[in-house]
Amino acid sequence: MSARTLRDDHGVPHVRAGSLLELAHEQGRVAAHDRAWQLEWLRRRATGTSAELLGAGCVPGDRLVRRTRVADTALRAHAALDPATRAFVASYVAGVNAGLRGDVPELLTLGAEPGAWEEWMPLAVFHAQHLLFASLPGKLWDARAREVLGEEAALLSHEGPLASGSNAWAVGGGRTASGMPLVAGDPHRTIESPGVYQQVRLACEDPDDAFDVVGFAFPGVPGVQHFAHAGDVAWAITNAMADYQDVFAERLRRVDGRVEAKGPDGWEPTESHAEEIPVRDGDPVPVEVVVTARGPVFADGDDGRAWSLRDAATVVGELGFGALLPLLRARSVADVDAALDAWVEPVNNVVVADRAGRLLYRIAGRVPVRPETTRRGIADAADPHAGWTGWLAPLPRTVLSPDDQVVTANERRGRESAAVGTTFAPPHRAARLRALLTDRSDLTPEDFASFHGDALLPTLAEVRDLLHDAGPGPVHDAILGWDGRMETGSAGAAAFAAWRSAFVRRLADEPVFAPLRVPLVDDPVFAPWLDLTGRLGLALDSLLPAALAGGTPYGLDLRALAAAALDDAADHPETWGETHVVRPVHAFDGSGLEPPTVPALPVAGDIDCVRCTGSVPGVTDACARGSVARYVWDLADRERSGWVVPMGASADPRDPHHLDQLPLWAAGRLAPVVTDWERLHP
């Protein structure tokens, strides 16, 4: 049969074909048709040419991907693909080029045509998507915080305002009403318009290579990468918070026009060359690309100081694409487990279940072995003992019984986490999910869907203790009388959020933190991770216990500051939903161009709720980061599964499926997964 795409009532593409390569071509064509503008933006971001399209505001991002040699790593990884995967990617790219359109609003506004894709472009898009997904920005913040605050800097540790996150959970068949496992989850990233994930069904009807998979794909990348239901097996992932990126403090000098770096054996040659970043309505910006023996230099300072990045994908020249075909063909937990042995980065927690009742948790990816000083800080490039010495193996894995449950939410999981990372998310989301699952033996897909919407604030008891003796007063009384749920219509949640932001701003005004306003690396691309007010807002989870214990971290009376902030918050919104509204980012932001309108719908939840719709206390109540997809996979009946994305299937604002899932997402509901071909339409 020839390839054909049908759609459900939300416009989600269901692609079927008689062969693998026909399927890949059709997936690429549909991705280009549905996401033409997004694919052009992703292509340019991955090649450091976005400023040519959107102007000078994109220069910092273009400079970073050029300096870190994203394209070079993608080319090497593409050359290393096995023949079958290379053919799969090539057919997908051919489909992209066949489906590209220039008649979409953003491209028409810019007077631009989409550029043709080369066969290695999906790898570059994937690599660029995850360049700032791991520990690099956090290491820059932690190093500067230790310089300023010493050991007390640990109190400011928290996953950053744009950091990675996710929930994933599963139970065996002994815990469900159907007797079959359930799997669910939601990835947390920056909420983008168009959305970062594309729902898709891929059905190959070759008798010798048949599969039928529903899942989520990154636009521009073939197959499904992270979350999928293949009929007999389903899987989910969260970021393992593993540390597979290291930063080295370099010393550079110029000798006879060459760049040298000071390594363990003295001054050594580097690879270096000059490039230019073309800029729309501006002059080209020169950029020097320097690669030391540690890795590419991504930033530099005065007097020859510089910082280089060493990451797993760049070192091995692979991006994990060898897992894509085995994942599509998976029939069991063992198949998914074996497929993910090829994974590189991001390093993920993986939860897998199948219809035979098997349940597995594992970590997948490449984690380097190196000294603790390198892992936990910025290493000295001249230190002979700071380098990598191999790969952590075996990575943690646990086989669970049908009566078990497994939860992963970026939290510290004991020894298995200590082996792979240093900084983890607070335990609240994981603890709340475990509480919702425990002692249940009749769980249904509807139960799992409801857990996605849980908006209970996990730190309510600590907040009440901190403020107990600070009142009475309107804000004080509203917080202490509140049920702790961050619901859109809640007056208590509004009072709490206003107080929290006022408290954070008072903290940020304290002189002890003033030096942190000067970052270690002064580059706008890292600003969201290095903003003092934002970091303090996200550090409250560590600061509140210190205040309750009677301590005075940094010499500050936190109880007094918290009490004073009650008065600052007196003029707060009536409900949480007035200010906690979805506000996705768009590539046009900051360019002077008007992005397509997205209604500012109120959303329940907050940073550390299971319903992660993150704000940045002290900076904004708006939700620009959180669940960028939600799903429940039912192994008993795939059509009882559900999924949703924040925007819709189409990136074209004129399409009825551009934003038709936004109301569902904002209300905490899922759209049905439809697999009956008779219920689909062209």
Q: Write down the H helix ranges in 317-444.
A: 324-328, 333-339, 372-376, 415-420, 428-437
Per-residue DSSP letter, 118: P
* Helices 558-568 & 540-548 angle (0-180, nearest 10): 120
- Show the tokens assigned to 358: 């098997």
- Contact present, 245 and 132 (Cβ < 8 Å): no
The angle subtended at Cα 173 by Cα 172 and Cα 179, nearest 5°, is 165
Is 383 annotated as a binding-site member? no
Residue with tokens 């540790």: 157
Task: Provide the pairing of β-strand 245-255 with 378-380.
Answer: parallel
Of 180, 220, 170, which is closest to residue 200 (Cα–Cα)? 220
Q: Write down the H helix ranges in 340-457.
A: 372-376, 415-420, 428-437, 445-452
- Show the tokens assigned to 351: 């939860």
The three-class DSSP label of residue 349 is strand
Q: Phi then psi for 73, rounded to 5 degrees?
A: -65, -40
- Contact present, 138 and 505 (Cβ < 8 Å): no
Cα gap 23→325, rounded to integer Å: 12
Strands (E), 471-540: none
Cα-based distances in Å from 502 to 496, 499, 567: 10, 5, 9
Cα gap 71→116, rounded to integer Å: 15
The three-class DSSP label of residue 71 is helix
The angle subtended at Cα 143 by Cα 138 and Cα 146, nearest 5°, is 120
- Contact present, 214 and 27 (Cβ < 8 Å): no
- Contact present, 558 and 550 (Cβ < 8 Å): no
Q: Which one is catalytic: 91, 135, 166, 501? A: 166
- Contact present, 332 and 233 (Cβ < 8 Å): yes
Residue with tokens 């299971």: 610
Cα gap 249→283, rounded to integer Å: 31
Task: Provide the pairing of β-strand 671-672 with 642-644.
Answer: antiparallel
* H/E element, 492: helix 491-508
Per-residue DSSP letter, 656: T
Q: Is 501 exposed, middle or buried (0-12, 13-18, 19+ CB in 10 A)?
A: buried
166 assigned to active site: yes
Q: Is the dihedral of CA 306, 311, 315, 318 positive or negative?
A: negative
For the chain, the straight-line distance linking the first and the last C-alpha, in angstroms and rounded, comes to 16
Report the binding-site residues for Ca(2+).
Answer: 243, 246
Q: Which residues are catalytic?
A: 166
Report the binding-site residues.
Answer: 243, 246
